[in-house]
Amino acid sequence: MSDDLQSDSQLKELYLSYKKDFLNSTARYNLDSESRTDIYQDAFIALYQAVKKNVDIKKDIKNYLFGIGRHMIFDRIKKQKEERQLQADLVASGQEYTIPEDPALNIWEECLRKAIGQMSPSCRKILTLFYYRGYSIEAIMHSMNLRNENVTKSQKSRCLRQLKEMVKNADA
Amino acid sequence: METNKENIIRKIVQGKSLSLSEQTWWEANLGRLEIQEQLKLVQGLQKALALENEDLLKQQLQSWDKESTASVPRKLGRTRSLPRIVLVAASLALLLVSLFWVFQKQNPDLIAQYFEPYPSILDPVLKGENQTTSREMTAMQAYQNKDYVQALKYFEGLEKSNDTLSFYRANTLLALGQYPQAQSAFTSLGDHQNRFQKEARWFEALSLLGMERSSDAKAKLLVLSGEAAHPYQHEAEEILRKME
């Protein structure tokens, strides 16, 4: 995501400018500062994605960011309580306790993700812009300074073909 | 056709609405194995790219945290000469004075440099509306003549649901330095689909600058600067550089 940002320095400034305020305003919750920082990062990522997808942010950016962050804090506290309760129940019943894994991606999607991670930065970027951000071919051409729309289209097709090959080879 | 097909599948995955012809194509081809496979690929790509990009951004944020922590100088000992409260008060006062000076100077300068009331499109306005009244004509005429006080007077009595007129009214408010009212009007125009939606988001950022809400203005400008096809993308980039 960050390799195609127009300006990392502005994003960094925005990220750091609200961080201290967020950590201070959430200090009363029963979470250490490391966990709150982790949540702030996740909330910032959620905000970034919302803004990039033109999600309607009715209030200002800070309200939106802090609102997401607070929800995430409540979720984490709730999860911790549930996990502690589950752990206590399991200990009482003599069973072992393991934290369940997050089943976000199936095996094929995980394969796809691994292959994306192995691609060249330009291929990752063009696929991200087209499939994730929803850019048009013309917008990608401008964003990546490509010669014309045909070049952009063929580069995108080449990258997609390469990705399919990588996934196929990983399957075999 | 290849690109059209891909675009339709992308729209489906992103939950965007289809045009009538796209909808017809989709319903006719939905059952084809090839289309189902492509749909699965695009869905998988979106999920995988989202997670991959989240990871990259998370790493980036963590590295900024480390940098910012490392750049805070370590305290070697207590300062003896002045009580801590005096130092804090002095720093705050200094900060407020400098912020006041910076905002007073920088934001109006930037607005003056970058704000140009959107060109009047008197004829298209009339062409697009069936029942254009003489009051609308007068308002637009005053706007065109840069007589913003008169323009606002006429705009105020007009139908608020007309996006074109609302856009020019908001520009008038901005030209008159009525930033909070302008910002509210531009926010509303940027919130729904209309011919000035993109432009409204740029003017909204300028209004926020006028209101001295620099962080919020920066956030909006940051988004615009990342949109390659946005009509004010270069201006957003430039203004952000100047604000650094």
Quote the strand ranges of chain B, DSSP E. none
- Clarify whether residues A86 and A161 are in a common domain: no
Q: pLDDT value at position A145?
A: 84
Q: pLDDT value at position B81?
A: 45
Find out whether A105 and A115 touch, Cβ atoms under 8 Å. no
- Clarify whether residues A12 and A74 are in a common domain: yes
pLDDT tier for residue A162 given thresholds of 50, 70 and 90:
very high
Distance from CA of B37 to the nearest CA of A (A): 12
Find out whether A149 and B240 touch, Cβ atoms under 8 Å. no
Q: pLDDT value at position A62?
A: 84
Indicate the DSSP class of residue A47.
H
pLDDT tier for residue B222 given thresholds of 50, 70 and 90:
confident
Is A77 inside a domain boundary? yes
The C-alpha angle with vertex A60 and arms to A58 and A61, in degrees rounded to 5, equals: 110
Residues 6+ apart with CB under 8 A from B84: none
Is A102 inside a domain boundary? no
- Clarify whether residues A89 and A114 are in a common domain: no
pLDDT tier for residue B106 given thresholds of 50, 70 and 90:
low
Indicate the DSSP class of residue B158.
S
Q: Structure tokens of A49?
A: 């994605």
- Clarify whether residues A142 and A69 are in a common domain: no
Nearest Cα to B235, choosing from B78, B105, B113, B91?
B113
**Lowest pLDDT segment from A19-33, A94-108, B60-74:** A94-108
- Clarify whether residues A10 and A69 are in a common domain: yes
Question: Hey, is the C-beta of B95 within 8 angstroms of any chain A C-beta?
Answer: no
What residues in B contact A109, CB-CB < 8 Å?
44, 47-48
Residues 6+ apart with CB under 8 A from B207: B174, B179, B180, B182, B183, B186
Distance from CA of B233 to the nearest CA of A (A): 10
pLDDT 10s digits, B113-149: 788 888 876 654 444 444 556 788 888 888 888 888 8
Is A53 inside a domain boundary? yes
Looking at A64, A93, A122, the residue that finishes a domain is A93
Indicate the DSSP class of residue B192.
S
What number is the average pLDDT over the span A13-26? 90
- Clarify whether residues A111 and A87 are in a common domain: no
- Clarify whether residues A72 and A7 are in a common domain: yes
Residue A159 has pLDDT above 90, yes or no: yes
- Clarify whether residues A89 and A123 are in a common domain: no
> Structural domain of residue A8, as residue ranges?
2-93
Out of B16, B50, B226, the one facing A6 most closely (by C-beta) is B226
Out of B46, B53, B215, the one facing A17 most closely (by C-beta) is B215
CB pair distance less than 8 Å for A2 and B56: yes
Question: Hey, is the C-beta of B60 within 8 angstroms of any chain A C-beta?
Answer: yes
Is A89 inside a domain boundary? yes
- Clarify whether residues A46 and A122 are in a common domain: no
- Say what percent of chain A tops pLDDT 90: 19
**What CATH number does the domain containing A35 carry?**
1.10.1740
CB pair distance less than 8 Å for B47 and A42: no
Find out whether B222 and A11 touch, Cβ atoms under 8 Å. yes
* Greater model confidence, B132 or B212: B212
Looking at A93, A128, A158, the residue that finishes a domain is A93
Return mean pLDDT, chain A.
Answer: 80
- Clarify whether residues A77 and A152 are in a common domain: no
What number is the average pLDDT over the span A150-159? 93
Q: pLDDT value at position B72?
A: 54
Is A99 inside a domain boundary? no
CB pair distance less than 8 Å for A137 and B3: yes
pLDDT 10s digits, B149-179: 888 888 888 877 788 889 999 999 998 888 8
**What CATH number does the domain containing A119 carry?**
1.10.10.10
Return mean pLDDT, chain B.
Answer: 77
CB pair distance less than 8 Å for B14 and A44: no
pLDDT tier for residue A151 given thresholds of 50, 70 and 90:
very high
Residue of B nearest to A130 (CA): B10
Find out whether B117 and B170 touch, Cβ atoms under 8 Å. no
Domain count, chain A: 2
- Clarify whether residues A89 and A116 are in a common domain: no
Out of A11, A13, A131, the one facing B45 most closely (by C-beta) is A131
pLDDT tier for residue A152 given thresholds of 50, 70 and 90:
very high
The C-alpha angle with vertex B197 and arms to B201 and B206, in degrees rounded to 5, equals: 20
Question: What is the C-alpha separation between B205 and B218, in angstroms, rounded?
Answer: 8
Looking at A93, A124, A140, the residue that finishes a domain is A93
Question: Hey, is the C-beta of B65 within 8 angstroms of any chain A C-beta?
Answer: yes
- Clarify whether residues A84 and A37 are in a common domain: yes
Q: pLDDT value at position A58?
A: 55
Is A81 inside a domain boundary? yes
Residue A53 has pLDDT above 80, yes or no: no
CB pair distance less than 8 Å for B48 and A112: yes
Is A100 inside a domain boundary? no
| Complex ipTM > 0.95 | no
Distance from CA of A78 to the nearest CA of B (A): 23
What number is the average pLDDT over the span A140-152? 87
